[in-house]
Amino acid sequence: MSADNAQAQQQKIQEFIRLLPLTFELAGLARNQPGSFFNEGQMEARATAIKNAYKAARLVIVDVAK
């Protein structure tokens, strides 16, 4: 059973990687300036934006596939 779980997890990872370009476009996040860093709150906000954009990207792909 663990081999099935590992395979399912690998498929989810591959799906996430394939959707990254669309996800980042939907998130609309600006790139950071070289030499400056995000603080913890900014990183958390950006991570939340990416998570929400990933969900939207998956919905777009499902709608397109119909």
Q: What digits encode the pLDDT tens for the residues 34-63?
A: 999 999 999 999 999 999 999 999 999 999
Helix axes 40-65, 2-27, angle to 10 degrees: 100
- Count the Cβ atoms, other than its own, within 10 Å of residue 58: 15
CA 7 to chain centre: 20
Structural domain boundaries of the chain? 2-65
State the amino acid at position 2 in one-letter form: S
The pLDDT, as a whole number, for residue 4 is 86
Instruction: State both tokens at 30.
Output: 């600006």
Gap between the Cα atoms of 14 and 20, Å rounded = 10
Q: What is the average pLDDT score of the chain?
A: 92
The whole-number average pLDDT for the span 19-23 is 94
Gap between the Cα atoms of 48 and 35, Å rounded = 23
